[in-house]
Amino acid sequence: VAPQNTSAPRVPPTTNPALAYTNRTPAKYTPKDFIFGKVIGEGSFGTVYLAKDIHTGKEHAIKVCDKRHIIKEKKTEYVTREKEVLNMLAGAKHSFVRLYCTFQDIDRLYFVLSYAKNGELLPYINKVGSFDIECTKFYSAEILRGLEYLHGLGIIHRDLKPENILLDEKMHVLITDFGCTKILKEPEVPLNENETHVRERKNSFVGTAQYLSPEILTDRNASRSSDLWAFGCIIYQMVAGLPPFRARNDYMIFQKIQKLDYEVPDGFSEMAKSLVEQLLVLDPTQRLGAQDEHGAGYPSIRAHPFFEGVDFETLHEQTPPPIY
């Protein structure tokens, strides 16, 4: 049942809408500060509604999670992590879904997020079957820039896939779904001179079969490089229409991943193929970007000829190419 907005807000509106959220602590927002509209989607832990802030008139996506369900499914850690990472990303000017505020009532948790009006990237890929090179370049460049920012903060996404790439009203990328993320508390300690992935003591199996990197399957070690593998899978999917590793069931997908068993269809751009081949490398330390200095972005990926002519710094101000 959608939370109802039946009475006046408890907190008077601020005069400056830009301060509407920051002004409200500790007198926090409540469901009554929003008019709840249609359901945008259902996740494992809650329902996402389109909602309008009655003070600012701004549209938001509000994720409403049932507390009992979270506890029953033992997903408290997932929800806590998601909030923690969204807070860490509050300073990002683009690339990510933004968390405006959170509040709760006796039964539910509410996450007030920016509304990605154009939904997920996946249906666009499915609809056109294959992105042209301009589109692939633009969207992969925006994803890369998001990854650079995320990794710069020591956050590994671990579930990067076209369903988790949302699109705002202008068709710019907003990366979302941070429940599976791993936050590197300490700088990554190289295991040997060439190895840069982190060994985790208590490691859970997270991610989506088709985008899982081989090292997660073998020793469950996720690193920044695991996201670079998923990034390679997404670029492949934008060009070919389907992810590179496909099979009847997850087990068979895992077999293919570990054997690097994928095919590049006819007509696949040579430049895109070269980039994908340098990202889909079994050894995580040998993927393009894996040796780049931490916190300095991925200059070696940006420098790949596939991205020739892309101005990474102004991507968010550019008009995205139409998707055909």
* Residues that bind ligand ATP in the complex, under the rule CB under 6 A: 40-46, 48, 61, 63, 97, 113-116, 119-120, 166, 176-177, 179
The catalytic position among 33, 53, 159, 227 is 159
Nearer to ligand ATP, 114 or 140 (CB): 114
Closest separation between CB of residue 289 and ligand ATP, Å?
26
Closest separation between CB of residue 214 and ligand ATP, Å?
23
Nearer to ligand ATP, 116 or 143 (CB): 116
Question: Taken in order 148, 86, 217, 123, is the CA torsion positive or negative?
Answer: negative
Nearer to ligand ATP, 110 or 298 (CB): 110
- Residue 191 CA to residue 42 CA, distance in Å, equals 40
Residues across the chain:
324
Q: Strand 99-104's sheet: what is its strand order?
A: 34-42, 46-53, 59-66, 108-114, 99-104
Nearer to ligand ATP, 136 or 208 (CB): 208
Annotated catalytic, 227?
A: no
Closest separation between CB of residue 203 and ligand ATP, Å?
19
Nearer to ligand ATP, 96 or 306 (CB): 96
Closest separation between CB of residue 62 and ligand ATP, Å?
9
Active site residues: 159
